[in-house]
Amino acid sequence: MRKMKAFSGEAPVLPGGAPGSSKKTNTPLAVFLPLLAICLAFSLFKVQQFRQLPNFNPGDDTALFWTESAFQYRYAKTVADGGTIPEVDTPAQFPEGARPHKEFTLCMEYVSGYVYRIFFKDPGTVPFHLFLIFFISFYSSLTLLAVYLLSRTLWDSPGGGLLSVVFYLAARISWARTVTGFNYEDFALPLIFLSLALFIKAVKHGTGGGRARDSLSSALLLLAALSSWHFSRFYFLVFSSVLAAAFLTQDDCGERLQVPAAALLLVTALGGFFVPVLKATGVVFSLPMLILSALLASSVLRNKFSLPRSRTLLLFFSLLLLFAGCSYLFLNKAAGEYSHVYSLFLYKLRYLLAKPENPLLLPFDTRVLWIEEFNSPALRDWFAYLSILLPLGLTPALYGIHETREKQCRGAFLFCGLAAAFFFLSFFAMRLLSFSAVFLAVYTGKYPELLERAAAWGKKTTYAFLSVCFLLALASDMLAFSLKAPLSSPPTFYEGDTRRILDWIRANTRPDDVFLSNIGAGAAILAYTGRPVNLHPKFETGQLRKKFENFAQALYAPEEDFYNLCREYKAAYFLYENHFALNSSRESFRYFTGNLRLATGAAAYKFNFEPQELKFFDLVYQTNTYRIYKIRLSEKKKTVKTARDTVAYNPLYDLRVFSADPAGKYFDDSSVLPVSVRIRLRHEALEKRPGSIK
């Protein structure tokens, strides 16, 4: 077997764009038209998926979005209606108020709102939520363009770029999260990866005007991403670290990285002084900015004094420590707002990605964040979200990583480092699978080269390679459908119940009545009824996280303690969710607060099973998921009728259904899961009957 020559990035190109021939074709229309058709079809597919949501109604936006999406929708609609986002938003975090421009990234809300106003000067022409579905679906498809540009830039193959786009579409994560909400992630990811594509292009330019143009464009796009999504700063940290590694280990990277890195540092610094949320959180003094500053200073000094690599390393780390020390106060303030994210990764590493049985081994902020998209992906999640992209993307990725060790820095080392870093970090949080999907898809653009090299070894090798790829794709697809998550939490009824409580609140409460609720429901109440809420789902501020902790802990304290909290928050109503009492999984409030055993004297127990025993709360409405309690002004004065006079019977609130002892010190929840499943199945059967109320 003859030894294959390592791909250098300058190999001749086959007629289809694959490396290996002496002729390079230039067919922009042959690439542009299929890419445009794919983007259009993909966007319309997402629109159709939106229309399948349970609460979608073209004429009514009620309950379409939930939790953070609902919170962000409210601000976007304010802009679309010609309003102004206030400096202090009291209804969003009553009574002290939230500070949207300093605490939240509002770029997505402003862009979508202004685009709506440009195209629809008469707001009544097209409902904003209907426009927003098309905006989200089409805008998020720009990630396809970023995947194509990255692949085209790295592998010099237009055909490979289109192949990368097709493979990216094969991953369910390319659309699954998009069609469930109005997410910052969908707005920021195209900006992040377009920025990366232009940065790598600038590195490959080496010299010339194109490098300056691409460097500036890359920096502006990353600044937009930082202004759009708080989590972009995590990417920025990884990116700057990999950039430093490229500079310190690759001999020819110094000069090539100087211009794009300098543009990134300068543009982000300017944004840090003029973009309110970046200024308020001290992005100028954040660790990624310090790394870039030390990197550029080391590069200049190395070139001026011809320093060897060992001294350059020492110089870089010395400067980094110096800059960190000088900006300690600012860096500490900025890092403090995101300490819950950084500590989450540290604790996951400490406990080997598995939540400890004892929740008190984790800080409260870590317990609360370690759920849903911040859970570590199980094997089923890898295949469910990535499907055939996982095995078929890993194959060329491993080949590319091996190849990068032998080639000069033309952007491939930087991309390889980022791909390896985010693939490793994806084991810590499912949210990062969105990044891994892009990196794996880009690597599939190397398949034309891989096939050419396999052909050099003969037809048998080529057929064997294709057969292995087919079997890997088939196996991954089967695993994606066969692996099911075990049921650990009682089933919920959120789909129809959320709309019901919103309709009831609009019809039966005053506009200034304040609601204390869980963060997801609170965002929906605020967005669709306009009632002030005490809690919202933006956990970036330490003040909000502490306020949420007080709420969660009070649920499992005596009723009087919970009532005192309601009075402190000046709440008129409390929206109870039955999972506060019934769910004891590691995703539950009981786990968050360390109350794995529910005391029968706890407020949550009484809210669920003994509303007639409450001294300070009157049950006024309930669904399968929620109960709305009106908070009395005092213990003696009753403001409404008793619970049995105002709501119908529901088995989820009946202690006898769960065969629990009412005289016990703790609630026996051993039968909660099977009983809840039976109730859910019975409910679904009733809904399917002709003439049933949905």
Q: What is the pLDDT of residue 544?
A: 94
Residue 638 CB coordination number (10 Å): 11
Listing DSSP states for 383-451 in one string gives HHHHTTHHHHHHHHHHHHHHHHTTS--SSHHHHHHHHHHHHHHTTT-GGGHHHHHHHHHHHGGGHHHHH
Listing DSSP states for 469-481 in one string gives HHHHHHHHHHHHH
Residue in 266, 244, 155 with CA at minimum distance from that of residue 201: 155
Token pair of 297 as six digits = 């200073």
Distance between CA atoms of residues 482 and 477, nearest Å: 9
Helix axes 209-226, 232-249, angle to 10 degrees: 140
The identity of residue 102, as a single letter, is K
Of the CA atoms within 13 Å of residue 170, those in its CB half-sphere come to 23
Residue 570 CB coordination number (10 Å): 13
Residue in 655, 658, 626 with CA at minimum distance from that of residue 493: 626
Q: What is the pLDDT of residue 336?
A: 54
Residue 674 CB coordination number (10 Å): 12
Token pair of 395 as six digits = 């194959």
Asked if 536 and 526 touch (Cβ cutoff 8 Å), the reply is yes
Q: What is the pLDDT of residue 401?
A: 86
Asked if 70 and 528 touch (Cβ cutoff 8 Å), the reply is yes
Residue in 193, 250, 248, 683 with CA at minimum distance from that of residue 439: 193
Instruction: Give the Cα-Cα-Cα angle 263, 268, 269 (nearest 5 degrees).
Output: 100
Distance between CA atoms of residues 442 and 567, nearest Å: 55
Residue 210 CB coordination number (10 Å): 13
**First-to-final CA distance of the chain:** 68
What is the chain's percent helix, strand, coil content, to nearest 5? 65, 5, 30
Measuring CA to CA, how many Å separate 129 from each of 55, 86, 269, 523, 615? 12, 21, 35, 16, 42
Q: Which CATH number does the domain 494-669 belong to among 3.40.50.12610, 3.30.420.270, 3.40.190.10, 3.40.50.150?
A: 3.40.50.12610
Q: Where are the alpha helices (DSSP H) in 559-664?
A: 559-569, 579-582, 589-592, 603-609, 643-646
Question: Which residues, listed in sequence order, are joined to residue 516 by a DSSP beta bridge?
Answer: 574
Tokens 């995101």, located at residue: 338
Q: What is the pLDDT of residue 692?
A: 52
Q: Tell how strand 573-577 and strand 626-631 pair up.
A: antiparallel
List the chain domain ranges. 231-337, 494-669
Q: Who's near 129: CB < 8 A, 6+ residues apart?
A: 61, 64, 73, 77
Q: Who's near 456: CB < 8 A, 6+ residues apart?
A: 2, 4
Q: Who's near 150: CB < 8 A, 6+ residues apart?
A: 164, 193, 196, 197, 200, 415, 438, 442
Question: To which H or E segment does residue 529 belong?
Answer: helix 519-529
Distance between CA atoms of residues 325 and 316, nearest Å: 14
Distance between CA atoms of residues 166 and 191, nearest Å: 20
Residue 546 CB coordination number (10 Å): 12
| pTM: predicted TM-score of the whole model, two decimal places | 0.91
Residue 513 CB coordination number (10 Å): 16
Q: Which residues in the chain come in under a pLDDT of 50?
A: 1-25, 334-335, 642-644, 694
Question: Which residues, listed in sequence order, are joined to residue 565 by a DSSP beta bridge?
Answer: none
- DSSP label of 456: H
Tokens 């420590």, located at residue: 321
Distance between CA atoms of residues 454 and 263, nearest Å: 41
Exposed, middle or buried: residue 688 (CB in 10 Å: 0-12, 13-18, 19+)?
A: exposed
